[in-house]
């Protein structure tokens, strides 16, 4: 089955799709011994030999699904400003061998269920508005909400 080259690279755990596109643009990817800089090139991972920086890709990692009860004061990111003394969800994934990413976001102060996966198709089905997946949030507010707050949220009081 033919799949876009950047997806094959991402599924092998080398990089995200966007970073895989950068690798392709930079000429660091070969398919069957030839440098490939063509975006959207389709390859058959079972038949074609794909290398990144001269190294053969490993087979795609098995699908992984992690449910994390994200505590408050933790960033919903794998990379980024965690070095500023703030924790990221990456610190809670030390035992997870596959490269997973958060499906959606929870605010820094918010706590609750966060799904992380390497299954891009599932993430797309859960997040894209066209699939109408309902999401429920429980919000605790300090103080009293006035009519202006309800209108801002699009709710009639």
Tokens 């389709």 — which residue?
42
- How far apart (Å, rounded) are the C-alpha atoms in residues 32 and 81? 39
Torsion of CA 37, 38, 40, 44, to 10 degrees: -80
Active site residue 44: no
Catalytic residue from among 48, 53, 107, 147: 107
DSSP label at 121?
H
Ramachandran area for residue 49 (φ above 0: left; ψ -120 to 50: alpha; else beta):
beta
- How far apart (Å, rounded) are the C-alpha atoms in residues 30 and 39? 13
* Residues with catalytic function: 107
């Amino acid at each position: 089955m033919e799949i876009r080259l950047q997806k094959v690279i991402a599924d092998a755990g080398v990089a995200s799709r966007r970073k895989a596109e950068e690798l392709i643009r930079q000429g660091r990817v070969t398919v069957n011994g030839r440098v490939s800089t063509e975006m959207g090139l389709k390859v058959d991972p079972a038949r074609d030999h794909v290398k990144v920086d001269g190294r053969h890709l490993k087979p795609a990692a098995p699908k992984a699904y992690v449910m994390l009860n994200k505590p408050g004061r933790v960033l919903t990111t794998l990379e980024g400003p965690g070095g500023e003394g703030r924790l990221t969800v990456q610190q809670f994934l030390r035992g997870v061998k596959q490269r997973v990413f958060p499906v959606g976001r929870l605010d820094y102060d918010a706590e609750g269920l966060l799904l992380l996966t390497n299954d891009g198709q599932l993430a797309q089905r859960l997040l894209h508005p066209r699939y109408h997946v309902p999401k429920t949030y429980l919000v605790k507010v300090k103080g009293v909400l006035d009519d202006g707050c309800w209108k801002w949220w699009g709710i009639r009081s």
